[in-house]
Amino acid sequence: MQSYRITRAAQLLGVSDDTVRRWIDQGLLPVTDAVPAEIPGDALAARTLALAAERDAADEGHSSARNRFTGIVTRVQIDGLMAQVDIQAGPHRVVSLMSAEAARELRLDVGSLATASIKATHVVVETPKG
């Protein structure tokens, strides 16, 4: 089974190394016997799901879309009837094309907090080389 060092686990969870170490100390994340400490992949996956459930419980609305990326709007480009809106959600950049009217109604500006909800029938899954 794959395991992850603390720094990589923190990147994948979108938290700091210190937060991961705190969760280890609290018993929320187990570690292997490896030196330096590593977190088993299945435990990291379970913690990821728990964090997602906590975020979902804090959300006020309901949606059939399960892929939600909350982040900061980094670009709004309006050209005629259409707008391109870029959101940086942790390490993920999400680009949305929408009507200019919708972008204006949502008052999307650089620095705004926004959530991209994605529902797709085709999702490409990739794994690292090696």
End-to-end distance of the chain based on CA atoms, in angstroms?
Answer: 15
pLDDT in tens, 63-118: 666 677 888 899 999 999 999 999 988 778 899 999 999 999 999 999 888 888 88
Q: Using 50, 70 and 90 to split pLDDT, how confident is the model at 125?
A: confident
Residue length of the chain: 130
C-alpha 112/C-alpha 91 separation (Å) is: 17
Q: What is the pLDDT of residue 116?
A: 87
C-alpha 22/C-alpha 16 separation (Å) is: 10
Tokens of 6: 């603390």
Residue type, 75: R
Ordered domains of the chain (ranges, CATH): 3-58 (1.10.1660), 67-118 (2.40.50.100)
User: Smallest Cα–Cα separation from 8: which of 62, 17, 77, 126?
Assistant: 17
